Structure 1
Amino acid sequence: MHKKNAARAAALPSPRRRRLLAAGLLSPLMPWPALAASTQADFEAEIDAFLKAYWSLQPDAAVQAGEYAAAARLPAPTEAAGQALVRFGERWIARLQQLAQRLPLNEAQQGDLALLDNHLRGLVWAQRELRAERWDASLYNVAMPFGELLHKDFAPLPQRLALIEQRLRQVPAYYHAALARLVEPSPVHLRLAIKQNQGALETFRTEIPQALDKSGLGEQERARIAAHNAAALRALQDFIAGLQRLEAGIPAGGGRSWRIGRELFEAKFRYEIQASVDADTLYRRALEEKEALHARMDGLAGQLWPGLFPAEPAPAERLDKIARVIDKLSERHVAPAAYVEEIKAQIPALARWVEEHDLLSLDPSRPLLVRATPSWMRGVAGASISAPGPLDPQGVTYYNVDPLDDYTPEQAESFLREYNHWVLQILNIHEAIPGHYLQLLHANKSPSKVKALFGNGAMVEGWAVYAERMMIESGWGGGAAEMGLMYAKWNLRVVCNAILDHGVHVLGMTQQQAQQLLEREAFQAKTEATEKWHRAQVSSVQLSSYFAGFSEILALREQLKARQGERFRLKAFHEAFLAHGSAPVAMVSRLMLAQAAGAPG
């Protein structure tokens, strides 16, 4: 028995074995299962210690994760708070490195530490180099955690109102510090912040008073909370007025540029995307893929042309031909008043398809509710998913859809032509089933808290784009050329997102050039193209995440299919991939390829 354990210990990499022996953590006589259990316990204790410290500094992130007790705190965004984050990051980078040297970690645990190390280094970099808190006014908005506390039934309403009251007390100091922090505001971010914080007024004017009315609290308690709410409302109104003064004081064409430039873009890309390629390489790949999609779309448009325009010869220029066919097909769309209801109606059909074609496991106990996007969230994306955090296993997932109430009839028609009969289906696949909604359900069940909590945006968005391909390949749309063309158009949007993102922040792409890319080469309606230009201004790197994640997921699938041959099973691949939480695709690829190399199937 002793000889067997000694052989197992000797099989460890020599430097690590020496460190463990020197530290007294390993003995040739120690039973191997006991060592593994001890390592797991020590590792989990250190992760729990990290999370406890992290939630205390980042309570809004804690609320998103489902750790609602942290919601009582609303730290003011002062310079001192930013420096505290830097010290926290540096301290934990060193502490986690020591953990890696001290314990014989398995690959999954090493991956967790790599994710945390990247997150912490990105946090320190953002405070020291990006300094967005000085110029991005849209960072400052208190509405989200209040909305979570109001609408999620994780505790009885009186208990949630107690947390709300504590946060309300801190709102004036928060907004006072936020205004002082904006020393070089970007005008475009100021406008977004004004719009979103004006949307947040509804939280304090209506939602909190309504919650108080139905809370069952005594009159004195309600009056006390109402007084704090009134003070918070005044602070928010003062903040909006302060933002408007800042905007008015910036001369036309002045103010800090919203473009972050090559150096910051490349660094942010490394920390946020964590791809196997750098930003420039992804940009070049996107240009190549755009050309390939144009060739595919040319063929599909050629098939459809005679039926749509029987008496007219097709244009010689392929972009003109594709545009004409897309424009004609786009006439088929829902009425503005039926837009949200049509989205709701499609969700059950998508769920049935996924089950019938054995693509992925569903969980009927975790509902998906379609709702109008809260006003304080609008102004960036027209549709999104708000999923419960991994620490809130019973939470509801919301599919947020921007209503068309603010559109003129012309804008609504332009929007609905973009989200026509075929594209609206692809949007619902992307956002709901089997896209974001299902991916996040699986991620929240990951055995790794770290991989579930510190998800990689490129993996999340990449999966949603891959889900579109998965559904089309499984036969959704019936193989019709119309769906094929519209899917290619949608996929072209993913590719052009990456081109636009890199183009505007690194290469100085102008609005005219962006409109040419989006309207002429990506065949987007004017309303969609205008909104995408705005999104490229108020965000950076995120638009690259779709193509980065999708291309790497697809490459992994094809590698595994080639290795496994007839043993490859699509559903098994999907569920094995999603079992890694929301880890970067490059990390998941390494793990799955290594496992495939050592396992029979």
Structure 2
Amino acid sequence: MIRKLLPLAFVITVIYSCKKDSVNPDMGEKDNTTFKIYENRFLDDLWKLDPDWATREGYHKYDSLLIVPDAKHRDAIINFTRKHLDSLSAYNATQLNDLNKIDHHLIQNQLEKMQWEVQQERAYEWDPTRYNIIGSFAYILNEHYAPLQDRLHHFYQKMENLPEYYKVAEKQIKNPAPELLNLAVNQLTGGVSVIEKDFADSLKKTKIPAEEQKQMLTRAELSAKTIKDFAAWLKALKNDKPRSFRLGKQLYDDKFKYDIQSAGSAQQLFNSAVDRSKYIHKEMAKLTIKLWPKYFGTTPMPADTMAMVRAMIDTISSKHVEPGEFQSAIEKQLPQLVNFIKAKNLLTLDPSKPLIVRKEPDYMAGVAGASVTSPGPYDKTGNTYFNVGSLSGWPAEKAESYLREYNQYTLQILCIHEAIPGHYTQLVYANKAPSLIKSVLGNGAMIEGWAVYSEQMMLEAGYGNNEPEMWLMWYKWNLRSVANTILDYAVHTGKVEKDAEVKFLVNNAFQQQAEAEGKWTRVTVSSVQLTSYYAGYKEIIDLRNDYKKMMGDKYSVKEFNEKFLSFGSVPVKYIREIMLAKPKVDEKKP
């Protein structure tokens, strides 16, 4: 799962403005040059509207601001979207060049999505995790984009509005979904140490006068207490008629449209995923038959194909690292991936961009066991973090189940997906994209889809020496993306319960019990995101196949990969239009 820090809701940090529309470009020819000027104005207004998002993207002009998310600020969101949709309508997208045309689509989608979030989704009422702002404070504290003393002053100033922020939050929460309420409590309780302890520890490293430090610590103590009190308030909240965590079909279809930006609908993707699962089952059966004598000798194969595949997976999965070696095993794996990519000439890698493997921070916990946090497009020298969930304190049985899921084969695939040449590599390319819009408004389906595609691309190039065990485990891993899509759609638009979900993942996707139960937690605290893996993967594979056919003998894996990544994190359907377009004929030439 990629944790490029994109806005999941636009209800937390906004700023109200009563100014006249200042973003309309001059009433001259609306060409590509003036459109780029408009983009800069759009972004400038956007960062004023949402300082937290700006901080996460590496734009630090407004780091010291924490905007109180009340009704007045939601009005500001609507005013902003109306104003910019009007400005955007002045440009005919068909008259712009290919790259600007994509930006036009992305801006329009974002503006319409923001309106929908405020007016239809209204998650600010039922999702308390929207009020977990600790990540923004952690970013200011931990990233080295400015001297520590300056960042601590911004941190201090940002805390000023924190009591009012949570006072407003309490007034706005109505009948929250219990699963999201519990997640918010856990994240706030675990993450408050950023303000309560880490801030104080950082102050000791500076030469800020003692009296000033005392004042800063006093505010930090009040802020920490405010967060703890809010978590306690959530925990004690009388919630007789809680909202279901399920979006329902209409909201789900709308969110899918805005978040995935696919060429098809959510229902069409669900149908495709069902078909893909049947294909994968057949391929896994073929590999199992081939491997059976190696692992089971003359023992008869079960008549039930699914039971046969399950037996093989269970046997192979017994080879895994020890609980305390999970993170170190990942660290050792990354250089091997780099060497393979260089040897096979699959992609140009940038060794100047650091990738740091770290324990997943507490304020991020509870959603995914492994993720990547990427620097924003304004922060070109920032670190990329490979966040690894800790197994510390887990019961032995649960840890064993988890490690069997991430056995010696799957752990390698995980590193491909999350790091090289998956998320980490793709996001390095994205930050070099020719426009900020493509990074700021990055498309999650393209990002996740690339990571899934990169796994297949590596194995096709011979990674793992074409061992049938590796391919079997990759099919199982690929089946996870497919099952994610089936599960997410079925749960949020239907009435699937936990027992049925766990049974489906264990029996049809061959997942371990711990993984299946963890996925239920994830599907109850997120929506649509789980479909992004298969949605992006399918569109990339379809594009690659069509591009390969078009290029014929001139096709090159490296050329395809680098050309695809060069457009940035944009919906695959727009990249497809450009890569498969026929060359334009210059009518002026004889």
TM, length-normalised to structure 1: 0.91
Residue of 166, 171, 191 corresponding to 1:175: 166
CA separation of 1:260 and 1:76: change in aligned 2, threshold 3 A: same
CA deviation digits over 1:226-285, x for unaligned, max 9? Answer: 111111111101101111111xx235xx51100011000001000000111100000000
Aligned residues, how many? 561
**For 1:259-274, what aligned pairs fall within 5 Å after superposition?**
259-274=246-261
1:554 aligns with 2:545: no
Residue of 340, 345, 348 corresponding to 1:361: 348
Residue of 362, 365, 374 corresponding to 1:387: 374
1:250 aligns with 2:242: no
Aligned to 1:8: none
SS of 1:370's partner is strand
1:543 aligns with 2:530: yes
**For 1:94-133, what aligned pairs fall within 5 Å after superposition?**
94-100=86-92, 104-133=95-124
SS of 2:300's partner is coil
Residue of 25, 37, 41 corresponding to 1:45: 37
Deviation at 1:391?
0.6
1:191 aligns with 2:178: no
1:62 aligns with 2:54: yes
Distance in 1 (CA, whole Å) between partners of 2:92 and 2:162 is: 40
Deviation at 1:39?
3.7
**For 1:483-502, what aligned pairs fall within 5 Å after superposition?**
483-502=470-489
Aligned to 2:401: 414
CA deviation digits over 1:119-144, x for unaligned, max 9? Answer: 11011001100111100111111211
Larger radius of gyration between Structure 1 and Structure 2: 1
Distance in 1 (CA, whole Å) between partners of 2:126 and 2:27 is: 51
CA deviation digits over 1:35-58, x for unaligned, max 9? Answer: xxx944422221111111111111
Aligned to 1:472: 459
Aligned to 2:336: 349
CA deviation digits over 1:413-433, x for unaligned, max 9? Answer: 000000000000000000000
1:223 aligns with 2:214: yes
Equivalent position amino acid for 1:449 in 2: L
Percent identical across equivalent pairs? 38
Aligned to 1:534: 521
Deviation at 1:309?
1.3
Equivalent position amino acid for 2:108 in 1: D
Equivalent position amino acid for 2:69 in 1: P
Q: Is the CA contact (8 Å cut-off) linking 1:560 and 1:596 kept in structure 2?
A: no
CA separation of 1:107 and 1:460: change in aligned 2, threshold 3 A: same
Equivalent position amino acid for 2:464 in 1: G
Deviation at 1:507?
2.2
Aligned to 1:161: 152
Q: Is the CA contact (8 Å cut-off) linking 2:175 and 2:239 kept in structure 1?
A: no
Residue of 196, 203, 206 corresponding to 1:212: 203
Distance in 2 (CA, whole Å) between partners of 1:468 and 1:113 is: 31
Q: Is the CA contact (8 Å cut-off) linking 1:72 and 1:163 kept in structure 2?
A: yes
Aligned to 2:3: none
Equivalent position amino acid for 1:273 in 2: I
Distance in 2 (CA, whole Å) between partners of 1:263 and 1:335 is: 45
CA deviation digits over 1:565-599, x for unaligned, max 9? Answer: 00111111111111111010001101111156879
CA deviation digits over 1:438-471, x for unaligned, max 9? Answer: 0000000001111111000100000000010111
CA separation of 1:596 and 1:148: change in aligned 2, threshold 3 A: farther
Distance in 2 (CA, whole Å) between partners of 1:96 and 1:268 is: 22
CA deviation digits over 1:360-415, x for unaligned, max 9? Answer: 11111101000001000000000000000001001010000011113111111000
Residue of 260, 266, 271 corresponding to 1:279: 266
Distance in 1 (CA, whole Å) between partners of 2:202 and 2:582 is: 52
Aligned to 1:11: none
Please, which moves more after superposition, 190-199 or 45-54?
Answer: 45-54
Q: Is the CA contact (8 Å cut-off) linking 1:435 and 1:463 kept in structure 2?
A: yes
Equivalent position amino acid for 2:181 in 1: L
Deviation at 1:79?
1.9
TM, length-normalised to structure 2: 0.93
Aligned to 2:18: none
Distance in 1 (CA, whole Å) between partners of 2:181 and 2:28 is: 55
Aligned to 1:405: 392
Q: Is the CA contact (8 Å cut-off) linking 2:384 and 2:424 kept in structure 1?
A: yes
Structure 2: where are the runs of 5+ without partners? 1-25
Aligned to 1:306: 293
Q: Is the CA contact (8 Å cut-off) linking 1:138 and 1:190 kept in structure 2?
A: yes
Residue of 209, 223, 238 corresponding to 1:232: 223
CA separation of 1:239 and 1:326: change in aligned 2, threshold 3 A: same
Greater RCO (CA < 8 Å, at least 6 residues apart): 2
1:151 aligns with 2:138: no
CA separation of 1:60 and 1:406: change in aligned 2, threshold 3 A: farther
Equivalent position amino acid for 2:63 in 1: A
Equivalent position amino acid for 1:309 in 2: F
